[in-house]
Amino acid sequence: MYDDMYEMRILITCSFICIVSLISVSVSIIIVFIGPMVRMYYCPRCKMKKVIEYQDSIVCPDCLLEFGKKLIGVIPDDEILAHGEIYAVIDSF
């Protein structure tokens, strides 16, 4: 009887370790691969959430303006310039 209890404890311990390991691996996969892809972009001008997303920028189909992804959510929306506005400032110099 003692051997059966000992074997049962070992089996429960191994099962617990396997379950905890699977959960931690699953959470790591979700954080690393799925987490960054879930980010929603929006137009800083009209606040429209349905924008066309490119690799480094987004285009608002309502405003027809293109914005850099790196600036959205980092600086205030009223200070973000569209790519056309940035190029106009640079061309003036």
Is the pLDDT at 24 greater than 70? The verdict is yes
- For a pLDDT cut of 70, what percent of the chain falls above it? 86
Q: Apex CA 35: angle with CA 59 and CA 40, to 5°?
A: 25
pLDDT, tens digit, 9 for 90 and up, residues 54-88: 888 999 999 899 998 888 878 888 888 888 888 88
d(CA 69, CA 53): 9
pTM of the predicted model over 0.75: no
Locate the domains of the chain by residue range. Answer: 2-37, 39-92
Identify which has the larger pLDDT, 50 or 8. Answer: 50
Cα-based distances in Å from 4 to 10, 14, 93: 10, 15, 84
